[in-house]
Amino acid sequence: MSCKVRIPAPLRRYTGDAAELHLDAATVGDLVKTIEAGHPGFAAKVLDDKGQLRRFINIYVNQEDIRFAGGLGTPLKDGDEVSIIPAIAGGDTSPAAPVDSPAWGR
Amino acid sequence: MNDSAGLLLTAAQMREIIAHCRSERPNEACGLLAGRGGRVLRVYPARNAERSPQSFLIHPDDQLRAMSEMERDGLEFTAVYHSHPTSDAVPSHRDIQLATYPEALNLIVSLKREPVVCRAYRIVGGHQSEVPLAIEKEAPDVRSK
Ligand SMILES: [Zn+2]
């Protein structure tokens, strides 16, 4: 079961500059572990210390956001395309705005 | 990566971006710009998932769609744009802290007063520096590239 994993520029320094990986994994969580095994340090950029997906990281299987599918347990099948994309955010001049708690508007 | 130091847009692209920013008021508007060597060839208005007058979060679905298209068409991720509905066109503390894609420049549109003010910045590793923003009249021809 081989999946294509697209790695965006901000995370490539943790994958030895690879923009694309082809890996076998049963779920998205397994996939992150598999990448971590080959590229130590990668998982920490994607998961928090509780092993949950970081707030500013989005993972898509094909066109579907895994937060609205099975999370890290989302199953993968042969030929799936996985995109790991750090969010793009910012704010106006409001120092009071908490940086770590964006309200997902949906 | 961006070959030139600054950001180059056509007048039509700039009008589109400003119109998008105005239409989202009082909330911040945001979007992505794709191109080559600092020259913008495509504008991707995005939804602000935070729907807030003081912050933005590019809707991840819109981000994925734009970035997939850039990859498919061999375009660079040139810049992120967003509006400051009531403040100057200067990166906020949060803009600098949350900048994720070092290869992309940041275009800020201030709607604080008329005429609107647009400025471009490079934000890398918690530091920002202003870069030249040039507006040209002729539309670039993507097919000739
Ligand atoms: Zn801002």
The domain that holds B73 is classified in CATH as 3.40.140.10
Residue B145 lies in a domain: no
Residue B143 lies in a domain: no
Chain B residue with minimum CA distance to A64: B61
CB of B30 within 8 Å of any CB in chain A?
A: yes
Would you say B106 and B123 are in contact if contact means Cβ atoms under 8 Å apart?
A: yes
Residue B144 lies in a domain: no
Which is higher by pLDDT, A91 or B10? B10
* Strand extents, DSSP E, A2-106: 2-6, 20-24, 57-61, 64-65, 81-86, 89-91
Cα–Cα distance for residue pair B44/B17, rounded to 1 Å = 9
Could you read off the pLDDT of A7-34 as tens digits, one per residue? 988 899 899 999 999 999 999 999 999 9
Instruction: Report the CATH number that the domain containing residue A89 is assigned in CATH.
Output: 3.10.20.30
pLDDT at A102 over 50: no
CB of A93 within 8 Å of any CB in chain B?
A: yes
With CB atoms and an 8 Å threshold, state whether A103 touches B50.
Answer: yes
**Cβ-proximal residues to A52 (8 Å cutoff; 6+ apart), any chain:** A72
The domain in which residue B64 lies consists of 7-136
Could you tell me the pTM of the whole model? 0.86
Could you read off the pLDDT of B17-75 as tens digits, one per residue? 999 999 999 999 999 999 999 999 999 999 999 999 999 999 999 999 999 999 899 99
Q: What is the ipTM of this complex?
A: 0.87
How far does residue B95's CA lie from ligand 1's centre (Å)? 5
Could you read off the pLDDT of B110-122 as tens digits, one per residue? 999 999 999 999 9
What is the percentage of chain A residues whose pLDDT exceeds 70? Answer: 85
Looking at residue A89, its pLDDT comes to: 95
Please state, in angstroms and as integers, the Cα–Cα distance from residue B121 to each residue in A2, A41, B22, B90, B132, following that order: 40, 30, 21, 9, 8
> A1: pLDDT confidence band, cut at 50, 70 and 90?
low
What does the block give as tokens for A8? 């965006």
Domains identified in chain A, total number: 1
Contacts of B57 in chain A (CB under 8 A): 87-89, 102, 104-105
The domain in which residue A80 lies consists of 2-105
Given B32, B48, B87, which is nearest A93 (Cβ)? B87
Pairing of strands B105-110, B30-36: unpaired
Residue B141 lies in a domain: no
Domains identified in chain B, total number: 1
